Amino acid sequence: MFSLTQIFVIVLAFNTYYQHDQVVAQGPSAVAPITKHINTAKPLFSVQITSTDFMENESSDSNFLIDIDAPLVFHDCSENWKPYPVPCDEYQCEDVQATYSSKSSQCRPLSKNPILPGWGYCGCPVNVINPVTGSCDRGQLNYDYFLLTASDQGRNPTTSIYHSNPTGLCAPSASFQSYPKDVTGVMTLSSSPYALPADLSSYNMFKKITALCLPSNSSAPGVFLYGAGPYYLLPNSSADIRSYLAYTPLLKRPGSFGYFISVSSIVIKKRSIDIPANATAKLTTTEPYTTLRTDIYNPLVRRFSMVTKRLQPAKPVAPFSLCFSAASTANNTTKSGLKVPDIELNLQGGKKWAISTANSMKQVTKDVACLAFVDGGATSDPAIVIGTFQFEDNFVVFDLENSTFGFSSSLLSKKTSCSNFNFTNSDYPY
């Protein structure tokens, strides 16, 4: 016979098991602000990290485009950077050229180790696909050195600094002409051994866990955290954000350092849209809207149209095909005044990622809002690419310790947002 205390403990353990399907570790983390840029052809997100001259130890804050797919850090090699090139006879050169340099047909063949002016030794040219333009750009492999601020148990930035020196590419300024203002490079947060997370994890204190919280507007920063956590957002400074997360396995895809998950079906108002068994979903930080292969996109649009018959239709606005008349709320041009049913992604392991109105309806003009999903065509591969609009104000975690992807669904339902990290350190003037 169980006592009341024993019954309480059993019930508590049962609830904890089903609410949190992954045991999360505690540990130190690094932190940096994330900015949303809307002054470009498509919204993009950057992280602010201090770059340091390898030779003269001079540092400055730099904004890097966030890319969770790229194999290498990639930055503007301007006069202010003072590069320190990797020689052609170093092991990193052979490794990067063989495995991480782009083999795309649009790339020019690598030149044979030219002698670098002013250095007196041969350099290490590498090709990389520019995530903004899609072009193949040429860079010089470089010894880079970055500084990241520590967080106070996931609550605030502190004065402590973590050093990191992933090998990256130093490229001409012309490669970044289409980038947002003041963004001078690409910071890769992929699973590549030359990405920032791999270098940070070389410090034994860090767990291989990257957390991103993308802001929904450009006026206040979101947050990048690296390490096990905990993580906190205002106004409820006692609630560890990890308690909101569900987890699904991360999938590997040959030839890619990006992150993939399995989506078994899409559910809208209790009606399921089946997904082909061989379909995988790629997670991206460089494309704004979720793209679906045509055989998935068309059923989703038909179902969404049926459950929103009460709404007044509007003429479609490219790249969207389903739009409604809607006035924007509180002068916010990104969130519509509409309320529509959630779009639920059923994921491997039985988890559900609920995409609410804030992440499904895009206010494209003052009076028109559109379903923020795009037809990727009949041969789109991967079949699903989940874009940044669906990430905004969602806390997501790429956990390479456990090969899992953690997600919160919209934080707005928890009365907080990605812009609520407490950047109180004087180094961050937000």
For the segment 343-370, what is each residue's pLDDT rounded down to a tens digit? 999 999 999 999 999 999 999 999 999 9
pLDDT > 70 fraction of the chain, expressed in percent and rounded: 87
Q: Is the confidence at residue 57, as pLDDT, over 70?
A: no
Confidence of residue 211 (pLDDT cuts 50, 70, 90): very high
Residue 272's CB: how many other CB atoms inside 10 A? 14
pLDDT of amino acid 179: 95
Identical topology for domains 29-227 and 241-414: yes
Confidence of residue 54 (pLDDT cuts 50, 70, 90): low
pLDDT tens-place string over residues 122-170: 999 999 999 999 999 999 999 988 888 999 888 899 888 888 877 889 9
pLDDT of amino acid 23: 44
- Domain 241-414 fold is Cathepsin D, subunit A; domain 1 (2.40.70)
Q: Is the confidence at residue 339, as pLDDT, over 50?
A: yes
* In the block, residue with structure tokens 């690409």: 186
pLDDT of amino acid 5: 40
Q: What is the mean predicted confidence (pLDDT) over 89-102? A: 93
Q: Is the confidence at residue 194, as pLDDT, over 70?
A: yes
β-bridge partners, 185: 75
Look up the CATH superfamily of 29-227. Acid Proteases (2.40.70.10)
pLDDT tens-place string over residues 1-32: 434 343 333 333 333 333 345 545 566 789 99
Distances (CA, A) of 371 to 2, 100, 253, 343: 53, 37, 29, 11
pLDDT tens-place string over residues 224-243: 999 988 999 999 888 999 99
371-384 in b/e burial notation, b at 16+ Cβ within 10 A?
Answer: bbbbbbeeebebbb
Q: Where are the domains of the chain?
A: 29-227, 241-414
